[in-house]
Amino acid sequence: MTAALLFPMFLKLEGRNCLVVGAGSVGEPKIRSLLDSGARLRVVAPSASAAVREWANRGELTLLDRAYEPSDLDGVFLVVAATSSADVNHAIYREAQARGILCNVVDDPPHCDFYYPAVVGRGQLQIAISTAGLSPALAQRIRKQLESEFPAAYAGWLEELGRERESLFRAGGDPDLRRQRLHQIATAEAFLKFQHAGTPASPVQPSVSFIQPEAAFAQPGGGARVSINSTRKEIL
């Protein structure tokens, strides 16, 4: 029987209680990504990397220097198990399943409710690639391809498009003309103009304006899935 497809989405974690168990080289990048997402983060680990301790000292997270206890999952929305012990990681997973808490055991697909995708980040533009754990190497190759296709200038361009979109909505006008306008300024040609000139792709015209937030999902070829998110500053 063919496995069900993963549901691609971008999750708002700002202000939510999250837990990472383990704070070494495996847990550190998971911790950083949760902090960048605005999560209210607690980390449990008998030892922690220098970076994690620095984040704790700056008040970015709460660090508990001890072994994991089941009560650590009280009130938690999401947990990442990143210890060096499979027994501990699996115990965390079982407890999380019993409580209905989303859990990721790092590098252990059968014990994951969600996976960390390969990500191309350009400011608010995020392009995430998943192979459902079948081939992380393929996901990384696709990521590198997309990195060259979407250069760093996309971050500034997206911010400019967001400002123009907000201006057009404030101006009102015909929704169809508005949508047409925002498609016009979000073309590849408009990006090249922005990139080369370092200026907005084209002036905002208040008489026209976009309605739907963008959420695009594609499944190229086989099982590799690409999700594109630009939060509130949508390109299309």
Same domain, 3 and 63: yes
For residue 206, what are its two tokens?
């208040």
Above 50 in pLDDT, residue 218?
no
Q: What is the pLDDT of residue 4?
A: 86
Percent of the chain clearing pLDDT 70 (strictly above): 83
Do 125 and 233 reside in the same domain of the chain? yes
Residue 37 sits in which domain range?
Answer: 1-116
Domain end among 69, 85, 116? 116
* Same domain? 104 vs 135: no
pLDDT of residue 58: 98
Q: What is the pTM of this model?
A: 0.73
Q: What is the pLDDT of residues 65-80, one digit of tens each?
A: 999 999 999 999 999 9
Q: Quick one: 232 and 124 in the same domain? A: yes
Mean pLDDT of the chain: 85
Domain identity same for 112 and 204 = no
User: Is the pLDDT assigned to residue 203 strictly greater than 90?
Assistant: no
Query: Of 116, 145, 167, which closes a domain?
Result: 116
**132 and 95 within one domain:** no
Task: Let me know whether 90 and 149 are in one domain.
Answer: no
- Asked whether residue 137 falls in the same domain as residue 109, the answer is no
Question: Both 136 and 124 in a single domain?
Answer: yes
- Pair 139, 211 in one domain: yes
| Residue 220 pLDDT exceeds 60 | no
pLDDT band at 141 (very low <50, low <70, confident <90, very high): very high
User: pLDDT by residue (tens digit) across 23-49?
Assistant: 999 999 999 999 999 999 999 999 999
Instruction: Please say which residue of 116, 145, 160 terminates a domain.
Output: 116
Q: Based on the domain organization, do 91 and 132 belong to the same domain?
A: no
Of 9 and 217, more confident: 9
Residues 231 and 124 in one domain: yes
**pLDDT over 90 for what percent of the chain?**
69
Number of domains in the chain: 2
- The average pLDDT across 177-206 equals 77
Q: How confident is the model at residue 176 (pLDDT cuts 50, 70, 90)?
A: very high
